[in-house]
Structure 1
Amino acid sequence: MTMAMAARSSVRVALASGRSIATRRVPAACPAAVPARGFFSLPDLGKFSPFSSPSSSSSSTAAPTTATTSLSSDAQTSKDFEIHTEKVTLPYPRQLLFNIVQDVDRYQEFVPYCLESSVRSGEEEPESAMDGNTGAEARSVLADLTVGYKTVQETYTSRVDIVQDQLVRATALPHPLFRHLETVWAFTSPSPDSRECQVEFSLAYAFSSPVYGALAKAVMQRMATEMVSAFEKRAAQLSG
């Protein structure tokens, strides 16, 4: 939820210092409104989330059988926004990892570039009490984040959709900086009592400024990796 803001901040600093940043051409901004949901192709995301649109795509993947901390990364471009993904199998219970991700109030303690984080008290949205497919508890909250890089700071609000032990999705509310910003964490494990969990993190973003969008591509994948690494380190601290 913090990386697009931090990328824009680092781009500003780079421009001011004259530092060279590699860029690639990005598609022209699409004038049509960018959909807020339903563009991820995550394993079983549709069945986990009560908030996805009916057209959301999903595919099945085999459950991990061995614990490993090696990361696999991917990036792709849709006609409307950039999508970055990170996949990692961690030697920690799914519930522990899920609790770390859904505890937005504590992001400021360990998430890179996050200066302040808070869930708005009393503003939980009772959209759905249970997930229709899994029977898991589901809820939505509003969260405020302040992110920064050196002297540049930005604050924005996200709607956070939570499916207990399975999914955390944060979608930023309208902001002048970007046309779209959404992150998804999906958690799968071989069994409920397993000591390992496969985590898939996806980031989709589209800056309002094509200049920022082009420059940010050089740093967004690195930031996605840093984000997953920060949560992995947090899990190690809490489990130790």
Structure 2
Amino acid sequence: MATRVAVSRMHMRATRFPVPNGAASSTATAILPPLLHRRPFFSLPGSPESATQHLSATRTLPYPLPPLYELIADVDSYSSFVPYCSHSRVTQWSAPNDQPNNSDLWAGRRWPTRADLHVGWGSFNEVFTSRLRCVPGASVEAVSGGVVDGDGQEQASAVFKSLVTRWSVREAAGSTTGAPRTEVHLSIRYQFANPLYAAVSAAVSDRVAAVMIEAFEERARTQLGGKK
């Protein structure tokens, strides 16, 4: 349905003032600017800041938990399957995960703690610097917004005031050694830096989490195939 926007045409007004006594018999004309009534292009209720929004999606996949978690923690490969991510690079890693129990599946592993993600579509292109928190075998959380760079300066995003993406995995009910099943959950919490972005994205934002988890499901199918 087309939306009509009423544009108010405002014209300059010429106001004539009487000439004081003793002045030449002519009329002085002063051009006064019009009185401007400004309002935002989008009328949004509430605070000028957009509210924090939450999206989520869940899939149960026929694969064991460890290899699925490995795919999620492989942030360097996000550009291979995450929609609109053109480049992904881990810039900082944790110390080796030394566990007293040598049988621990991820003993000695290093996990990403910071990464840059290049996201773009059309003429939009932005680099998101994220702090990463990996809980081996459980979750990977990426926090953008309020990230401080090497010079001690906070890196601000032109689009998001805050963006928190959390992938979590757990064994699904009924999972067995012979027929493993893993529940993968994606949660996205974000707040736009400008309410205009919230208004423009409203029509598509509800599908973002579903599209991302569908892309991950395809990634798992490609990488793990019939692995059970």
Question: Same fold, TM exceeding 0.5?
Answer: yes
Q: CA deviation at 1:217?
A: 2.7
In the alignment, what sits opposite 1:83? 54
Call closer, same or farther: CA 1:87–1:239 in 2, change over 3 Å: same
Q: Secondary structure at the match of 1:108?
A: helix
Note the aligned Cα RMSD (angstroms). 2.9
In the alignment, what sits opposite 2:119? 147
Matches of 2:181 and 2:70 in 1, distance apart? 15
In the alignment, what sits opposite 1:93? 64
In the alignment, what sits opposite 1:58? none
Consecutive unaligned residues in structure 2, runs of 5 or more? 1-41, 147-155
In the alignment, what sits opposite 1:103? 74
Q: Secondary structure at the match of 2:47?
A: coil
Match of 1:171 among 137, 140, 143: 143
Q: Secondary structure at the match of 2:206?
A: helix
8 Å CA contact retained: 2:62, 2:180: yes
Matches of 2:56 and 2:76 in 1, distance apart? 24
Call closer, same or farther: CA 1:81–1:166 in 2, change over 3 Å: same
Give deviations 1:136-184, integer Å, cap 9, x for gaps.
8795511001011022211121011111111010001432322110001
Higher helix share: 1
Matches of 2:66 and 2:56 in 1, distance apart? 21
Consecutive unaligned residues in structure 1, runs of 5 or more? 1-22, 31-78
Q: CA deviation at 1:232?
A: 0.2
Q: CA deviation at 1:223?
A: 1.6
Q: CA deviation at 1:111?
A: 1.2
Q: CA deviation at 1:125?
A: 4.3
Higher strand share: 2
Match of 2:198 among 179, 203, 213: 213
Give deviations 1:79-120, integer Å, cap 9, x for gaps.
940001111111111112111111011111111100000101
In the alignment, what sits opposite 2:47? 28
TM-score, normalised to structure 2, is 0.63
8 Å CA contact retained: 1:26, 1:214: no
Larger-Rg structure = 2
**Number of matched pairs:** 164
Q: How does 1:220-239 map to 2 (within 5 A)?
A: 220-239=205-224
Match of 1:188 among 170, 192, 209: 170
Large movers: runs of 4+ above 4 Å: 23-27, 135-140, 190-194
Matches of 1:187 and 1:212 in 2, distance apart? 31
Query: Which is bigger in relative contact order (C-alpha 8 A, separation at least 6)?
Result: 1
8 Å CA contact retained: 2:114, 2:131: yes
Call closer, same or farther: CA 1:27–1:117 in 2, change over 3 Å: farther
8 Å CA contact retained: 1:159, 1:173: no
Q: CA deviation at 1:129?
A: 6.7
8 Å CA contact retained: 1:117, 1:144: yes
Q: Secondary structure at the match of 2:72?
A: helix
